[in-house]
Copies of this chain bind each other. A is one copy, B any other.
Amino acid sequence: MADATQEPEDGIWLYCSNSAVRRAARQLGRLYDDAMGDTGLKGTQFSLLSQIWRSGEPTLKNLAEAMVMDLSALGHTLKPLLRDGFVELVPDEKDRRVKRVRLTEAGEAIQRELTSRWQAAQSRFDAAFGKEKSEELRRMLAFISSPEFAERFTAG
């Protein structure tokens, strides 16, 4: 308990997986944001643009699911990108409830620029953490992010 003599390395993050992941997210957030440099965009925006590009005009619903993000949260996060003209929403042909996200010309251009910078950052990550362990870590995190894991967690 309230014992100020403990080691600074000891903390809730060594026992709580949620605390551990968020703490690492803060550290990486800063590191990758820095890597995006003067582009004016952040690491999270790179992830989003990148996934939109990889998905090829996904619906908001599908994109949100892939990103394991709340649909409304995705909407909010997309605001600045829409405002700055990097993405646009196009109504679906068949289902009028559906909207698809698409990268604009400017969006593709900035995405290429960000990808280049991201690649450099990811290489530094792999070098600092070890390429093998790096891949293993991402696989672990992908599993934790899966519906199967949520199912197991909730059921347990």
Contact = CB atoms under 8 A, between A and B. Distances in A.
Interface of A: 1-4, 6, 8-29, 31-32, 43-44, 46-47, 50-51, 53-58, 66-69, 118, 121-125, 127-129, 133-134, 137-145, 149-150, 152-154, 156
Given A16-B47, A20-B141, A23-B145, 8 more contacts: A1-B56, A4-B55, A16-B32, A18-B29, A21-B28, A22-B44, A124-B156, A128-B156
18 contacts: A4-B57, A13-B141, A15-B122, A16-B32, A16-B50, A18-B31, A18-B125, A20-B142, A21-B24, A22-B25, A22-B28, A22-B44, A22-B47, A23-B68, A23-B142, A23-B145, A25-B25, A26-B68
A53 B128 contact: no
A19 B47 contact: yes
A44 B22 CA distance: 8
B142 A54 contact: no
